[in-house]
Amino acid sequence: MNYLSTRDTGVSVSSSRAIAKGISPDGGLFVPESVPRIGLSEISELAGMGYIDRAKNILGRFLTDFSAEELDSCVTGAYGQGFSDKKIAPVVTVKENMHILELFKGPTCAFKDMALQILPRLLTVAGAKAAKGREIIILVATSGDTGKAALEGFRDVPHTRILVFYPSEGVSPMQKLQMCTQEGSNVAVSAIRGNFDDAQNGVKRIFTDPGIIKKLDENGMAFSSANSINWGRLAPQIVYYFSAYCDLVAEKKINCGDEINFVVPTGNFGNILAAYYAKEMGLPVKKLLCASNSNSVLTDFLTTGVYDRNRQFYTTISPSMDILISSNLERLLYSMAGSEKVKEWMKLLSSEGKYTVDDETLSKIKEVFAAGCCDDTATKATIAKYFKEHNYLCDTHTAVAVTVYDRYVETTGDTTPTVIASTASPFKFSRAVLEAVEGKTSDLDEFDMVGRLAEVTGLECPAPLANLRDKKVRFTGCCEKAEMDRVVFDMLGI
Ligand SMILES: *Cc1c(COP(=O)(O)O)cnc(C)c1O
């Protein structure tokens, strides 16, 4: 199976090449030329398997130029000791019809690990096939969790180097500490003065700058991307939607063939897009509920068809969703309206910051998606309520999804069994979670707060977070947007 660009279907490359390149030269994203279908009998078979076999099965349908041995070694290496739960992505039933898919059991305690533990392995194989032995340079723009997960995934991986840019005023203290203490000989981290969109736009520009690409080429290097625009990030995320469904079947909470809903706390639209592909493949899904914080650009878009990034940017307690340009939406638009329209809309997005889709596209979107948003006050109230009433502690991002879900049920009466994606450990966002649970502000430092949260909730802080206290800070730099090129060259020594 080949991959096309969302902006030029004349571009057609193998899966390894799509992963090695990250983004198409025309600025478009790689998408599968067709979505492989999976039948109920096959889903029923997957229900009898563990996560690793489910992953091999689903990924094998997309990554067709990887051999079975190559996939086997990538999958087995990724989903092993780095995870603190042997189910990898366990499903917890919180109340009737409401299940939480815990995606934060990996080494950095956020759902990004689900993809970033395997992406470096896929890239190493793909690089050997497609990048002709050149050193692969990973540039990352992060709203917090991607950066750390990518650093951890790529550290000391041969023939790769990784450089992460994060917005100086837009990550939690714990996220910042996780990145700035990163170990490994091929890693670097820099803050950039600006917000996540500034970081992401800067990275995208560098990726497609012909002068920079040439300079790397002359030095035996080539860029690739670990952001969720890389197909190698998305494909592994499709797996856990199947896995969650299979777990519910295996535990007899649903019958194979029953429809379920998924609720996904959304930023760059990568996670929920993976759920959409799972549905397209044939997983019985009724609705995908897209949950946003006060940066509600997606809620507005999915309900009105108008995408307008010209609005106030809010810094919230769910910082990984503080995004006004959701890159992966482009793949959904391609799937629903084709490349000509995508090209037109993306041009408008970059020139006007705004576009409006046609009625036919909007009605297709509404058939599949529902959307909602909530502010920090509601998010905190949900954390407190679910801890008190269900003894379940959510992180801030997950709580946005839970809030939006509860309101959705209230307004629609839809009692379809629902799986909510939980994207981070509550200990990663201790201040907000602790304040929610205790109902008062806290002036403790980051680590005392983690300790206090453990004490108040009776839960244990995950080891990778607890251990940060003794790590040395290695990276302190902060650059302007205009200086990003120089930071890249400095790191690469070219
Ligand atoms: C990245 C992230 C999100 C948003 O996921 P997208 O794929 O960007 O939509 C939500 N929650 C957490 C904790 C994250 O790290």
Is the distance from CB of 98 to CB of 405 less than 8 angstroms? yes
Q: Report the candidate in 385, 375, 382, 403 with the shortest Cα–Cα distance to residue 316.
A: 375
281 close to 433: Cβ distance less than 8 angstroms: no
Residue 320 CA to ligand 1 centre (angstroms): 5
Task: Kindly give, in sequence order, each residue whose CB lies less than 8 Å from that of residue 358, ignoring residues fewer than 6 positions away.
Answer: 305, 337, 341
Provide CATH code, domain 2-81+112-231+479-492: 3.40.50.1100
Active-site positions read 112
**Among 45, 36, 16, 122, which Cα is nearest to 76's?**
122
Class for the domain spanning 94-106+260-470: alpha beta
| CB half-sphere exposure, 174, CA atoms < 13 A | 29
Q: Which ligand 1 atom is the nearest neighbour of the CA of 395?
A: 13
Ligand 1-lining residues (CB < 6 angstroms) = 110-112, 145, 228, 265-271, 320-321, 397, 423-424
91: helix, strand or coil? strand
Residue of 271, 316, 369 best suited for mutating to test ligand 1, as the one with most atoms within 8 Å of CB: 271
> Ligand 1 centre from 423 Cα, in Å?
7
Please give the distance, rounded to the nearest whole angstrom, from the Cα atom of residue 266 to the centre of ligand 1: 6
Per-residue pLDDT of the chain (494 residues; tens, 9 = 90+): 999 999 998 999 999 999 988 889 888 999 999 999 999 999 999 999 999 999 999 999 999 999 999 999 999 999 999 999 999 999 999 999 999 999 999 999 999 999 999 999 998 888 776 666 789 899 999 877 899 999 999 999 888 999 999 999 888 888 899 999 999 999 999 999 998 889 988 998 998 899 999 999 999 999 888 888 899 999 999 999 999 999 999 999 999 999 999 999 999 999 999 999 999 999 999 999 999 999 999 999 999 999 999 999 999 999 889 889 898 999 999 999 999 999 999 999 999 999 999 999 999 999 999 999 999 999 999 999 999 999 999 999 999 999 999 999 999 999 999 999 999 999 999 999 999 999 998 888 888 999 999 999 999 999 999 999 899 999 999 999 999 999 999 999 99
* Angle made by CA atoms 121, 124, 130, in degrees to the nearest 5: 135
Which of 397, 398, 430 for mutating ligand 1's site (highest number of atoms within 8 Å of CB)? 397
State residue 131's pLDDT score: 60
- The 10 Å Cβ neighbour count of residue 214 is 10
Integer Cα distance of 485 and 49 in angstroms:
47
Phi-psi region of 85 (alpha: psi -120 to 50; beta: other; left: phi over 0): beta
Sheet holding 160-167: strands in order across?
Answer: 221-225, 135-141, 160-167, 187-192, 478-479
Task: Enumerate the CATH 3.40.50.1100 domain ranges in the chain, comma separated.
Answer: 2-81+112-231+479-492, 94-106+260-470
Enter the pTM of the model.
Answer: 0.94
Give me ligand 1 centre to Cα 399, in Å: 13
List 261's β-bridge partners, or say none: 418
Is the distance from CB of 321 to CB of 397 less than 8 angstroms?
yes
- Residues 117, 82 contacting (CB under 8 angstroms): yes
Full DSSP string of 232-280: HHHHHHHHHHHHHHHHHHHTTSS-TT--EEEEEE-SSSHHHHHHHHHHH
Q: Which atom of ligand 1 is nearest to the CA of 428?
A: 13
Q: Residue 148's pLDDT is what?
A: 94
Alpha-carbon distance of 459 to 370, in angstroms, equals 33
Q: How far apart, in whole angstroms, are the C-alpha atoms of residue 125 and residue 201?
A: 28
Q: Which two tokens stand for residue 390?
A: 């269900």
Given the DSSP bridges, would you call strands 418-422 and 260-265 parallel, antiparallel or unpaired? Answer: parallel
Q: List 264's β-bridge partners, or say none.
A: 290
Taking the CA of residue 268 as reference, the ligand 1 atom at the shortest distance is: 8
